[in-house]
Structure 1
């Protein structure tokens, strides 16, 4: 049977502040000597989408906490890790690098991918605004999480979506052969938690293997926006708390500072 994506309202459960998650295997167990594919790496990344973030709750960071955050290099993975530990979720789109490897004596073939997503209203707790200013030859597969059936779509040049990747292509792997896949989850309407299910053809049998974020779902939230003369802009008053940094905070040399979301009109 085919796996369908279920979208329903629910309350997000953010990570406890300051409590890093111990890595857990994303590999699925199947009958026989092992799964036809192994997942050697799952790493959430940020690219040209800047350093903005959304939190489930209104966050009041102390001066000491902001100093700790601001001591880390701007737009760095260290800042990203600090924000994720405190419950931050990327806005609008999530990037994750996944390395998969063949694990069967005969070639195996990935013939499909789809996202299984639980989606609800966008997060409106806290908005961190910091707009963005070498990648290898990865396969880039995007999932429209606002769709009732978010199948993996081919993305070209970061912006062009060309339909179901696996309608015309497959991914074939010999034993110990690796490929890097960039997973992109996109939403303009919801907060979503999702995993990716790969449909793998091995020895004439279709096996479904799950890819998650070290035992947890991937998370992404739409940004609450309003229409300004046909141009969508962040609806800052919709958020319980607001912090600005990077290019949005030139007066403080990019340091994160707290602002009143009801009075702030944008950078």
Structure 2
């Protein structure tokens, strides 16, 4: 309706004049959203064919109803509260985002020993290594130490993100994007942990060697984790009802570089699509491939330390320590 005018009484409208005349009002279609505007007609009444009037009115009704149905489909795709696919993504509110990021784990290597690397040389004596053993066994202290020394996971880094639905309706995570910055592999200090068995299974991962990484679906095979070639969020629905919690294990891997990166959730809601940033406590995550050495050792590093049998950290000559497989 045109703002500021009272609705036209039914008895004077086009659809209710059965005498074969348009008696004083005409129907005009408005914007793409399907709105219908009623306006005064300046020209005097003219005689028209009643079939033409009926067909015209029917067409207007179909257009109006069709536009409404289309809008509903775009807004509620798959019945999950998905926003229109072409809706512009805007940053979510910091105080009331559609998805709460309740926790982000320390990044760790996918390999069972959880080896990690520092970009700079670090010389540690026996007393330093004894103190580091205590730090390493305390997750909170170790994560702080790791961050202070700009540590990086080796090969593939895993991050576990705890999520909670925070909107009034069900929402859908339609994508996770990665923002990366890659350079030559770290060649400072290598720490080889002690194998503690299996850990989290990653189902979505990014190939940071790609110019434009996408969230790939991963599969665990006899040869290890491999990408299936599918965009994870194209083949999987990841929805969160109000108050519902889920964990998402995300991997990022490189065979060529050291990369720092952050993640960005794309969340679709009935109100539109929103982005939410995820980082490592205000810093980017980091992952690196093994420093090149010309052989199958850790000769590309200045320092190396090995956690022997999970009992004590010991210094080792990088040239005598085998590089990890793969």
| Structure-1-length-normalised TM-score | 0.73
1:159 has 2:225 as partner: yes
Q: Which residue of 2 aligns with 1:101?
A: 164
Deviation readout 1:138-180 (Å, 9 max, x if unpaired): 8731111111111111223361322210122221111111111
1:148 has 2:207 as partner: no
Q: Which residue of 2 aligns with 1:40?
A: 102
Point out where structure 1 has 5 or more consecutive residues left out of the alignment.
1-27, 248-252
Do the aligned partners of residues 227 and 240 (structure 1) sit closer, same or farther apart at CA in structure 2, a change above 3 Å counting?
A: closer
Q: Which residue of 1 aligns with 2:245?
A: 178
Do the aligned partners of residues 45 and 77 (structure 1) sit closer, same or farther apart at CA in structure 2, a change above 3 Å counting?
A: farther
Q: Which residue of 2 aligns with 1:12?
A: none
Worse-matched range after superposition: 147-156 or 219-228? 219-228
1:90 is paired with a residue whose SS is strand
Q: CA RMSD in A?
A: 3.0
Distance 1:97 1:227 in 2: 34
CA shift at 1:36, angstroms?
Answer: 1.0
Q: Which has the higher contact order (CA 8 A, sep 6+)?
A: 1
1:44 is paired with a residue whose SS is coil
- Which of 257, 261, 267 is the matching residue for 1:194? 261
Task: Mark the structure with the bigger radius of gyration.
Answer: 2
Q: Which residue of 2 aligns with 1:19?
A: none
1:261 has 2:318 as partner: yes
CA shift at 1:215, angstroms?
Answer: 1.7
Do the aligned partners of residues 84 and 176 (structure 1) sit closer, same or farther apart at CA in structure 2, a change above 3 Å counting?
A: same
CA shift at 1:131, angstroms?
Answer: 5.6
Please say if residues 158 and 202 of structure 2, whose CA atoms lie closer than 8 Å, have aligned partners that are also in contact. no
1:169 has 2:236 as partner: yes
Tell me the number of residue pairs that the alignment of Structure 1 and Structure 2 aligns. 227
Please say if residues 69 and 79 of structure 1, whose CA atoms lie closer than 8 Å, have aligned partners that are also in contact. no
2:236 is paired with a residue whose SS is coil
1:49 has 2:105 as partner: no
- Correspondence 1:1-267 to 2 at 5 A: 30-31=92-93, 34-44=96-106, 46=108, 48-71=111-134, 77=139, 80-81=142-143, 84-85=146-147, 87=149, 88-130=151-193, 132=195, 140-157=203-220, 159-162=225-228, 163-203=230-270, 205-225=272-292, 233-234=296-297, 236-246=298-308, 254-262=311-319, 264-266=320-322
Please say if residues 72 and 79 of structure 1, whose CA atoms lie closer than 8 Å, have aligned partners that are also in contact. yes
